[in-house]
Amino acid sequence: MTRQEPWTIRTAAAALRSGETTSVALVRSAHAAADLLDPQMGTWLDRYTEQSLSRAEQADAELAEGRDLGPLHGIPLGIKDILSTDEGPTTAQSLTMDPTWGDQGDGPVVARLRAAGAVIMGKTTTMEYAIGRPDFSKPFPVPRNPWNLDRWTGGSSSGTGNGVASGQILGGLGTDTGGSVRLPAAYNGVSGHKPTFGLVPKSGCVPLGMSYDHVGPLARSAWDCAALLSVMAGADPSDRTTVERPAIDYVAQLEQGFERSLDGLTVGIITNDAITEGSDEATMAVFDDAVAALTAAGATAKRVEVPLYDELAAGAFLGLQAEAFAWHRDRLAERWDDYGRPTRLTIVQGALISAGDIVQIERVRQVARRQVEAMVDAEGLDVLLSPTTGHGATPFTGGGTEALSIRSLHTPAWNSTGWPAFSVPMGFDPDGLPLGLQIIGRPFADDLVLAIGHAYQHLTDWHLRRPPHHA
């Protein structure tokens, strides 16, 4: 069957219940897409072919018996390969990873997806330890962008991003320490959500910067991400940073939100130089169009400057480097050459960050959080908006290291605050590459952020566009 629009989790879930399709059919189609596309796109590190088909058969039987576990029941998903699963090892896409680390089995988030009936298709590619850059010298797939195979997918949830965009999976898990859910979402033309810090447990995830790490969903739409987050969210005793909060059905909240009108919503347009000067003209023009679409639907827009924005962004980079070095220090000394060059050179810089520096980083984070919250209160803002990145996907250069300007990343500051941040497709640059709109909310206002993304996707169809390389 040829579909005019790509499957989403929402449409596939409805089709499963109407009898239009089956989980087995969805999974077989996903495997066929991977057979066709993976050799050129580098989406997968490991595919669980037999296990996923068996689980799909089980899901079909359960649904036929009236045992409906929710919208993820029978849906094929991918898991970034720094998250542990029952089926196989976690490599973190590194020659230095301890092969026994993943013997712990499913981490809490993977276990929750599985309990909700999702079909785990396999492990998707990442960058080495979720911080490296493409490295053609190592024996791992190099993920490529389905909009242009000469462009990168963004790091580090690379395979989940290009897998969703190309139709090999309907959604999946990524992690975000400085933007690693939102960047591949933007570069691949899909939706990706970094939840509020503490909302989703990180246990079973290879750490990068524990104070900045977030596990988040990628999928085609805001509705899909809301369905995933509804299952993922919730405290777990294995992660002391998680916060006890009442369970939220993010799909229900989203559907009660702004589908028809944005009247009464006030959005802050971030005007800091880091955004305006760190973005090219094409990106800012597309961003202006996205803001215009929201205001035409009733929202009020205010131009604002985020206090201590540069300090928040710099603190995220420095803090995660220090924490990464602490975790990798002994292994770096023993196996320096086995690390990819981009990875080791990034992590080893953490050795230059002193204890005093770390104290100062944390002090600035606390001061900045209070000042940003005070600004949002004073201006009466519901959310903040910016481009996710300053340009479209970057080309591969110099043996696999992409030309990427740190200044063009508009994501790290929100890892410092821990606030929720959601990237949705907002259009294309002159080269036909997707661009992302970033929606930032207050702590634990994930429902509002997703609802605004959902409303925007009622106004536009950017999230339903298919790349040239797709199933």
Calculate the alpha carbon distances from 249 to 70, 88, 189 in Å.
11, 31, 25
d(CA 177, CA 127): 13
Crossing angle for the helix pair 9-18 and 222-232, to the nearest 10 degrees: 80
In eight-state DSSP terms, residue 409 is B
| Residue carrying structure tokens 């910016």 | 386
C-alpha angle 423-427-431 in degrees, rounded to nearest 5:
115
d(CA 312, CA 412): 7
Please give the full DSSP string across 170-218, using - where no structure is assigned: SEEEEEESSSTTHHHHHHHT-EEEEPPTTTS--TTB--S-TTT-EEEEE
Residues 348 and 341 sit within 8 Å (Cβ to Cβ): no
Strands 421-428 and 434-440: antiparallel
d(CA 462, CA 189): 8
Active site residues: 80, 156, 180
**Amino acid identity for residue 131 in this structure:** I
Please name the residues in contact with 427: beta carbons below 8 A apart, sequence gap of 6 or more.
286, 289, 290, 434, 435, 462
Please give the full DSSP string across 343-371, using - where no structure is assigned: HHHHHHGGGG--HHHHHHHHHHHHHHHHH
Question: How many Cβ atoms sit within 10 Å of the Cβ of residue 463?
Answer: 24
d(CA 79, CA 83): 7
d(CA 291, CA 456): 10
Residues 164 and 123 sit within 8 Å (Cβ to Cβ): no
| Residue carrying structure tokens 């347009």 | 269
| Residue carrying structure tokens 């508009």 | 410
d(CA 373, CA 406): 25
d(CA 201, CA 222): 21
Q: How many CA atoms lie within 13 A of 5 on its CB side?
A: 12
